[in-house]
Amino acid sequence: MTSTAPLGLRRAVGLADYTTWKVGGPAQWFAEPERADELAELLLWAQAEGISSRVIGAGSNLLISDQGLDGLTLCNRRLQGAQIDADAGVIEAQAGEPIPTLARRAARAGLSGLEWAVGIPGTVGGAAVMNAGAQGGCTAEVLESVSVLDPLDPTRRLTLTASDLDFDYRHSRLQLEPLVVLSARFRLSPGHDPASISQRTSANLHSRTSSQPYQQPSCGSVFRNPEPLKAGQLIEGLGLKGLSVGGAQVSPIHANFIVNTGHALAREIDQLIALVQQHVSTAHAIALHTEVKRLGPFEEIALAA
């Protein structure tokens, strides 16, 4: 190292505890900044050292290689906090704020628009990047703007409006450009009965937890729906529930979930994803695309036709 390492920087930190799949090798360098300026300082340090960097949130929709990650990995889940203006229907939330927590707070404030988000296992920043959605709702419908930081110039912050983000189904511009979300501004519908909104929010959560395998590590939905079809229905229709590779299994509860049954490796999950894709392609000539982002080295998988 050629420069003084910032406080909080750690070496060789296992990343399995930072993903909802509970898999992943060690980060060469790792930190959990608690403020935006700390995050910027860490990115500047990585830049000075000439090493790569990336930011992760709750670790959902993320598959990290068993070999781990070179360079600097930053986890933003301590960048929490939200300010709610119930009269205006505006919420300003930090990137690491859990989206289910925000949904419950919005409901208690009588704000409608985030009821769908209560079962999403991610952060505000991740929801903005992925255009997360469920129960017929999605981030693009309620997000007004985001504050982002440019890792190539961590002193530079930008505000991007929803129209700047090129939202589409489970897609945003933020997936294509190396911008780090610091906070997001949501515009919701104010003046509703908090009890009614809370009841609707709880009903959405019950619907998800009763039909999805929340007792085992997963990333949520693995595959994007090939609209108007549903990925889970295609997979289930081929009898693939319960299909396993090592410790990775297509959930017997919901076919669009791959669960870690206890000791799965990232490569086993990756192999099972490819196997499911092959079955669906062979049977229906449909290419299933993942919602999952892979980080680190993965072997190319060649499966028999």
* Residue 175 and residue 122 share a domain: yes
Q: Is residue 303 part of a domain?
A: no
- pLDDT at residue 207, rounded to an integer: 85
Distance CA 129, CA 114 (A): 16
| Confidence grade of residue 305 (pLDDT, cut at 50, 70, 90) | very low
pLDDT tens track for 40-50: 999 999 999 99
> Chain-centre distance of CA 287, in angstroms?
22
pLDDT band at 194 (very low <50, low <70, confident <90, very high): very high
Residue with tokens 């009903």: 203
* The pLDDT of residue 112 is above 90: yes
Q: Which of 92, 97, 268, 291 is catalytic?
A: 291
Is 24 part of a structural domain of the chain? yes
Backbone angles phi, psi at 138, to 5 degrees: -155, 165
Do 253 and 269 share a domain, yes or no? yes
Whether pLDDT at 192 is above 60: yes
User: Quick one: 101 and 180 in the same domain?
Assistant: yes
> Does residue 268 share a domain with residue 237?
yes
Distance, first Cα to last Cα, the chain: 48
Number of domains present in the structure of the chain: 3
- Please check the confidence at residue 209 and state whether its pLDDT lies above 90: no
The one-character DSSP state at 171 is B
pLDDT in tens, 239-293: 999 999 999 999 999 999 999 999 999 999 999 999 999 999 999 999 999 999 9
Say whether pLDDT at 7 is over 80.
no
- pLDDT recorded at residue 155: 87
Q: Rounded CA gap, 224 and 256, in Å? A: 9
Task: Calculate the average pLDDT of the chain.
Answer: 94
Beta strands 143-150; 153-161: pairing state: antiparallel
66 and 27 inside one domain: yes
Same domain, 87 and 120: yes
Task: Specify whether 38 is catalytic.
Answer: no
d(CA 202, CA 208): 10
Range of the domain at 171: 82-210
Residue with the larger pLDDT of the pair 146 and 152: 146
Say whether both 124 and 151 belong to one domain: yes
Weakest mean pLDDT among 82-96, 156-170, 205-219: 205-219
> Which residue among the candidates 170, 185, 208, 267 is catalytic per the annotation?
170
In a domain, 302, yes or no: no
Check if 291 is active-site: yes
Mean pLDDT of 160-179: 94
Answer whether residue 146 is part of any domain.
yes
Q: List the CATH number of the domain containing 244.
A: 3.90.78.10
User: Amino acid identity of 109?
Assistant: A
**pLDDT average, residue stretch 289-300:** 91
> Is the residue at 232 inside a domain?
yes
φ/ψ (deg, to 5) at 80: -110, 160
| 107 and 51 part of one domain | no
Choice among 115, 221, 251, 267 that is catalytic:
221
Domain boundary among 161, 183, 210: 210
Q: Do the domain assignments include residue 2?
A: no
Report the CATH number that the domain containing residue 134 is assigned in CATH: 3.30.465.10
Asked if 176 and 56 sit in the same domain, the reply is no
Please check whether residues 51 and 71 belong to one and the same domain: yes
Same domain, 65 and 158: no
pLDDT digits (tens, 9 = 90+) for 63-81: 999 999 999 999 999 999 9
243 and 196 together in one domain: no
Residue 3 lies in a domain: no
Tell me, rounded to whole angstroms, the distance of Cα 132 from its chain centroid: 8
User: Greatest CA span in the chain, whole angstroms?
Assistant: 59
